A and B are shown apart, each in its own frame.
Chain A
């Protein structure tokens, strides 16, 4: 290979972008067969009739920044007619590879790194060409009217200039599709991975019952009217005047419909107020109707709105007067009776159907809740004596990741006006106001104040800002290897949609609220994301979504993490 990386980064940052490959692009996702794929490269240069050569990293596990690791796969000359109406001359090119990709270069389900090189910007020798990411089209639209070289400079890949490869993801198979019985979802609890050993749900049943006894869990949820002793009655639901309610589909980490209620209650005679929430889960299919995670969002939202075939109800309580277990978890069945198990994915549904059979699912309460609600919590299941959960938190309702996009974290109805995005975001603000009152983690408080532009938590009139990026990601600290643009893009492509919700509960330095905090964990995150048995994300739904997304390409390019990242 002819191009040399050494020394080119400094140069790249100081010159206009007079070359740019716009297809393929970093973050492009491909669902088909990788072996045999033939790439076409498209772009533009300021130099007419010059040869553009395309390369592939010959072994997907090798260092992507080492030029000698690349193999040429095709070349073609740029055009000779200036396409630019103004500014620098522009000569487009299209290179079709003369060699098909093999599975060493692009393992199925993994990553491929590509590069292009040519002469440009008046240099006598060839050099790597600039490239873009999946955010390019939005950036281009935002900079309409600019000359092509200016758009290229603003919208090029933000991870190190022209020496960063174009990284494309193969989305199939997913880790679960590749090895459905060897992955332990919801296995992280309190920062400890319990992976590696299949456990029968029944083995944890007595501990759950003891936990319920410890916290005095009401034995029934309660219906539409007040009955003494039910959850709703105990925590003042029927007399509450501040009930917030949202009906939606949780697409981000569960893949189920939810009918969510939160309100405040009087916790002691001194006037302290606690918060209680319950959420009834929906999502059934077939005859007779059977629960299933990951069904079509709008189909499930219709079930939520109709209230048909509730699967289970999860309740959480925050009682500020309690020294131990101030945050509590209880699960009720679709008919309102106390449940000892709760499935949070399809593996869990199978486990509950065969409770004495060892499973790699985690269906034990509150253990499975703490996977997300207590990433730095402590809890030791015991079958007698006091059962204590410390460090559990309410999580914010996070309608982010482009609330109206297919990648939305929460999906709202598109058929029932009362439950469409507008009114539901108002209810989300009300729900988040309750969350803010539960003494949530510092990261959650910062997130709510940041996303709602408040200083003491949102109210029902607060507006959620989906473009919110914490200052620790927009302005990298000393020692960061990323530019502000790269840091922001990594946050939007990885942290926000796939990590944020659960890591906000962390209080031990893993809340990912700053880039400088995350950066040292890049190789660890890479290890967990790429095929670990106790993976990150630790939810099956979130992992499936990450695997189909540009996120892996952004993570590897941001920190020059080598590896094929196969399932």
Chain B
């Protein structure tokens, strides 16, 4: 019961933050109605938690399944990745093209390795800089 009340209190507090967001335009009757709804929701959530035997947050639970739920994609070296990125940027003739290159490369950044060769990354970034300057000045 004590735990349930604690959970309900926590959720009620966060829901009240939501009410605060709606704040100034919801005085009087609406505010009372909101409060009742918030508390009801909090209690419902507390009941759900109890039914599912989920501990309150935050918690470092030893029972948590820490195995990936998704098959990881093999990584590529970030140095080679950025080098290739610079190659493509430098093929562009306008900034829309540069933006498109970013749209294609940025979502793949997560599958690159941690940087090991700062000089290589720096060289790629300087190529990007030089090409972008040339593109943006129409050179």
Contacts and interface: CB of A to CB of B under 8 A. Distances in A.
A83 B30 contact: yes
Sorted nearest first, the 6 A-B pairs with minimum C-beta distance are: A479-B95, A562-B110, A61-B110, A58-B70, A33-B60, A36-B61
Interface stretch (A64-72, A324-332, A400-408): A64-72
Nearest to B103: A481
Interface of B: 11, 14-15, 17-18, 21-26, 30, 33-34, 37-38, 41-42, 44-45, 48-49, 52, 54-61, 64-70, 72-73, 78, 81-82, 85, 89, 94-99, 102-103, 105-112, 114-115, 118-119, 121-122, 124-126, 128-129, 132-133, 136
Interface in A56-105: 58-66, 69, 71, 76, 79, 81, 83, 85-86, 90, 92-94, 96, 98, 100-105
Given A83-B30, A145-B24, A478-B95, A96 B11 contact: yes
Interface stretch (A361-369, A440-448, A527-535): A527-535
B54 A38 contact: yes
Contacts of B18: 22-23, 42-44, 92
Nearest to A148: B22
B94 A479 contact: yes
Contacts of B58: 30, 32-33, 36-38
B107 A65 contact: yes
Interface in A154-203: 191-193, 195-196
A86 B26 CA distance: 10
A517 interface: yes
Contacts of B125: 521, 524
A481 B102 contact: yes
Nearest to A480: B99
Interface stretch (A136-144, A231-239, A333-341): A136-144
A285 interface: no
Contacts, number: 230
Given A83-B34, A193-B118, A140 B21 contact: yes
A136 B23 CA distance: 13
Contact of A59 (B55, B70, B107): B70
Contact of B89 (A86, A145, A520): A520
A40 interface: yes
Give the size category of A's interface with B.
35 or more
B42 A94 contact: yes
A215 interface: no
B83 to A, nearest CB: 11
Contacts of B94: 478-479
A72 to B, nearest CB: 11
Interface stretch (A313-321, A389-397, A459-467, A508-516): A508-516
5 contacts: A32-B60, A92-B37, A98-B48, A480-B95, A509-B132
Contact of B17 (A23, A192, A478): A23
A564 interface: yes
Nearest to B136: A516
Nearest to A78: B41
